[in-house]
A and B are shown apart, each in its own frame.
Chain A
Amino acid sequence: MITLRGLTKRFGAVTAVDDLTVDIAPGRVTGFLGPNGAGKSTTMRMVLGLDRPTAGRALVAGRPYRELRHPLHEVGALLDARALHPARSGRAHLLATARSNGIPRRRVDEVLAVAGLDERAARKPGRALSLGMAQRLGIAGALLGDPPVLMFDEPVNGLDPDGVRWIRELTAGLAAEGRTVLVSSHLMSEMQQTARHLVVIGRGRLIADAPVEELLAAGPAGSVRVRGPHPEALARLAGRLAGDGATVTADGPAGFTVTGAAVERVGDLAYELGVALHELSPVAATLEEAFMELTADAVEYAGGGSR
């Protein structure tokens, strides 16, 4: 369980995290979503006691991180996979980390195996590791103390499709064991497949804290794609739908997309008007769209460069 209460961090005039109050519950993967610069990493650093909150508290299992004696048994974190000494091998890096918390040496080999790093990869110095291998090494380090709470900051960054699938299965497995798993990302599509619950922030503020399905339902309504061989018949159908209050967008002369009308209603109307159809398909809203709508006001740097 990670508990944030009124968590706030200001860097000079910039408020990176703004009065964040959230509970990250165990037993499920929680996605931590937000555009770049939304304050996800700053929040995670405060949970780990690295950055001091300007106001509020971040607690792990009810306690501030700095009070933990052997914190790697309580929280495992991957922050910046690239933060490695260029000359130190991955294995030595893990061994030093393990020894700091009294974790036996054989545990290093176990987490290396879990992370899919073989002996050759483990012996490579930091500078020779690809980003994907560094991510795996960072995740191995997070698992060292077998902690009930895990935080991964952008773990799929730099991973190949195999690695992405691996992360998805690993985090799901860790959550199924009853652990608290917080995974940050700016990739909505990835979170849709990985997380069951989402905490969305923008400009440091909490925008949503809800199950994935709920966010999808509350997001933009689904749309219906319609295609047919007779443009004038389609135009008639589109006109009726628009008259009912739906929004119609033309996709060329042979089709259109309608939002605000159920697929059944569109089908019934087409039958009633005698319009031949070649396609009538519902298009589910994606998390991406829900996210864009949620964070529309919260993107720190808008496209035009205005603030």
Chain B
Amino acid sequence: MSAALLTRPGRQGSPLAGAVAAEWTKLWSVRSTWWTLLAGVLVTAATSAQLAIYAVNGNTNDDPADDAGVVTVGSVLIGSLELTQYAVLALGLLTVTAEYATGTLRGTLAATPSRGTVLLAKALVAGAVTFGFGLLLGLVGVAAAGPVLGEWGRAPVAGTAGDLLAVAAYPALVGVLALGVGAVLRGAVLSVVVLLAVLYIVPLSLQEPDIAVLNRIADAFPGIAGGHFLTGDGDPYPPVVGLLLLAGWAGAALAAGRWALRRRDA
């Protein structure tokens, strides 16, 4: 028997386009992706509704007309993201740590020898999917929180749209950050520990004694920067700086991952 070919395989397309298509196929061909998304949707719906109930119950003002205690739907949304970001983090992390765990990374690198291209393709797919996922979660959150808040909530179109975009951008960047950390550390468990430390444990510990210098250092950590960006407060820096800081962390993690992949034997 011969392997003679019926189809002459083509060689069109850039390596990056091919790598993106491959990553896309890989992501959607495992059930864990779908479970992660479903879990994210359910948790968002539940926490948004719960936070909305808190907002309504916590309001002691008998007269909603005087506006005190009325919250934006967007703020409830952002609150619920505290929990659902873990689903997003898992999604970004798994695209690379699963390849190490199963040994498929060798096949991936044999098909696309440029380490930078492989990592960029993974980041593009994980970033795009988590951005879209974030938008979906935002809509789910609005749909769940809006009716519960009722007269205690308001949803100005521009503000809510801005909050939705923020709720999509934040997970996309956290997903890419997780991916870069996973590429450096290889193991999922160690990566999660390091991510939790960088996102929360270290900055919250720094904030604990409430010393100005330590607070400023904590403000530079990705979790805190992302929080400032999401809540849109202007202290200590404008929200866009928070976004840029978070993006910088994601970019640095990606660069470290590329360096590690290029240097190490697969």
Contacts and interface: CB of A to CB of B under 8 A. Distances in A.
A45 B32 CA distance: 30
Contacts of B31: 87
Contacts of A180: none
A69 B14 CA distance: 8
Nearest to B108: A100
Interface string A97-132: 111111110110011001000000000001000000
Interface residues on A, range: 35 or more
Contacts of B165: none
A177 B2 contact: yes
A65 interface: yes
Contacts of B7: 104, 106-107, 110
Interface stretch (A21-29, A166-174, A207-215, A293-301): A166-174
B19 A100 contact: yes
B3 A173 contact: yes
Nearest to B6: A110
A83 interface: yes
Interface residues on B, range: 35 or more
Contact of B29 (A96, A100, A103): A96
In this complex, the member of B21, B25, B103, B107 whose beta carbon has the largest number of chain A beta carbons within 10 angstroms is: B107
Contacts of A98: 9
Interface stretch (A73-81, A196-204, A251-259): A73-81
Contacts of A89: 29
B107 A141 contact: yes
Contacts of A95: 25, 29
A107 B3 CA distance: 12
In this complex, the member of B1, B106, B112, B113 whose beta carbon has the largest number of chain A beta carbons within 10 angstroms is: B113
Interface stretch (A47-55, A242-250, A262-270, A284-292): A47-55
Given A83-B104, A83-B106, A176-B2, A101 B11 contact: yes
A252 to B, nearest CB: 46
Interface string B96-125: 001000111011111111100000000000
Interface in A57-92: 65-73, 75, 77, 79-80, 82-89, 92
B266 interface: yes
Contact of A173 (B2, B23, B26, B113): B2
10 contacts: A50-B110, A75-B110, A83-B102, A85-B104, A87-B32, A96-B29, A107-B9, A146-B8, A169-B1, A170-B3
